[in-house]
Amino acid sequence: MTDVLTVKDQAGTLMQQLAGYVGHRTIAIGLRNGLFQTLAHEPDGISIDDLAAKHGFDAFYLAVWGRAAIGAGVLDRTDTGGVRLAPHMATLLLDKESPTYVGGVFIVLEQHELLTRLEQNLETGERLWWDGCSPEFIAAVSGTGTPFYRRLVPAGLAKVPGLAERLELPARILDTSCGAGVGLVLLAQTYPNATIVGTDGDAHSLELAAERIKEHGIDDRVSLVHSPLEDVTFEAEFDLVTNNISMHECRDLDKVTANVHRALKDGGWFVISDFPFPDTDAGLRTVPGRIMSGIQYFEAQIDDQLLPRATYDDLLGRHGFRELGWFELTPMHAVTYGVR
């Protein structure tokens, strides 16, 4: 028997949304203005007046922010009345090298390209592509993609039977939709015997990737190709092809998968790291489902949507991949793989 919801119950549902919005904006203010960064260097806490003085901010305004941040659970009050970061918040909000980093998501969700632009184009349905996005948006998205790579390499790849051993030998890796090159650097550092190719359809992202590759001194082992995945034409060259949180953006999934199959050597692996979008209404109402629904606002504008994880089983099976498998790294991060 289904419980009957009262007006009070439903009002509580709406109040949760309002509280979440205030918390989100409070955290974004703290990130954009360096407040959390300062607090990370004050493990014993700091008074609001001293925090305001360090930043040249109005102390009264900052006190309002501080109370909201305490309410959001990201700050704690000290015994002397000051504030400090709540446990683990420095890692979660600031450490871009951590696989648990989520701070970048708050910045992405506030970008014009997400909800605001979609609302402005509800009538026209005018679409967007990456080359029409601001550098700030691309940088923010790169930051949110980093923990996906950090979870995938090497721990995620080590869960794929036989792959870690293969990558200890001289190997060739193709990172498709490599973006700004975070994954290329991580792959090169983790597998020193590998040569790596990154491909992406966005020229600005590849410029950033080239700078990152040169900065890390790995340009002798890492190269870049400017091409959408539908146009990739490699032939039996790679031991591993990876795609990190971009497979759902392909204009023609079947063509891309056929291209990947052709690019792999016999026995090579295709590893897809992506969001597992819920395929039920109950899933949509979970916290991960609600966050991924927010990401869908941008995905819609580039004419795609996140996909249920099982979609990739069907896709790989249609194109002759064998030994299919998958595993979950977080509720918002699943890995699907197959062998050519």
Confidence at residue 184, expressed as pLDDT on a 0 to 100 scale: 96
User: What distance in Å separates the CA atoms of residue 261 and residue 259, rounded to the nearest whole number?
Assistant: 5
Task: Provide the residue type at 229 as one letter.
Answer: L
User: What distance in Å separates the CA atoms of residue 103 and residue 227, rounded to the nearest whole number?
Assistant: 30
DSSP state of 45: -
Architecture of the domain spanning 112-339:
3-Layer(aba) Sandwich (3.40)
CA angle 200, 203, 209 (to 5 degrees): 70
* Domains of the chain, residue spans: 7-94, 112-339
Structure token pair of residue 170: 């001289």
Give how far the C-alpha of residue 261 lies from the chain's centroid of Cα atoms, to the nearest Å. Answer: 25
The CATH number for 7-94, chosen from 3.60.20.10, 3.90.1210.10, 3.30.310.80, 1.10.10.10, is 1.10.10.10
Read off the pLDDT of residues 74-89 as tens digits, 9 standing for 90 and up: 999 999 999 999 999 9
Q: Are 240 and 174 a contacting pair, CB within 8 Å? A: yes
Nearest to 75 by CA among 60, 93, 58: 93
Q: What is the dihedral of CA 217, 222, 224, 230, to 10 degrees?
A: -150
Exposed e or buried b per residue across 204-233, where buried means at least 16 C-beta atoms within 10 angstroms of its C-beta: ebbebbbebbeeeebeebbebbeebbeebe
Q: Are 86 and 76 a contacting pair, CB within 8 Å? A: yes
For each successive 10 residues of the chain (340 residues), what is the average pLDDT? 83 96 98 97 97 98 98 97 97 94 94 96 94 88 88 96 96 95 95 97 91 96 94 94 94 95 97 97 96 96 95 97 97 97
Left, alpha or beta for 45 (phi > 0: left; psi -120 to 50: alpha)? left
Structure token pair of residue 266: 């016999």
User: What distance in Å separates the CA atoms of residue 151 and residue 153, rounded to the nearest whole number?
Assistant: 6
Q: Looking at the chain, how many residues does it have?
A: 340
Confidence at residue 2, expressed as pLDDT on a 0 to 100 scale: 58
Confidence at residue 174, expressed as pLDDT on a 0 to 100 scale: 98
Structure token pair of residue 293: 């629904």
Read off the pLDDT of residues 12-38 as tens digits, 9 standing for 90 and up: 999 999 999 999 999 999 999 999 999
DSSP state of 112: I
Element (H, E) at 253: helix 253-263
Q: Are 323 and 161 a contacting pair, CB within 8 Å? A: yes
DSSP state of 33: T
Q: Are 162 and 188 a contacting pair, CB within 8 Å? A: no
In this structure, the number of other CB atoms found within 10 A of the CB of residue 295 comes to 21
**Beta strands 222-226 and 75-77: pairing type?**
unpaired
In this structure, the number of other CB atoms found within 10 A of the CB of residue 140 comes to 22
3-state SS assignment for residue 8: helix
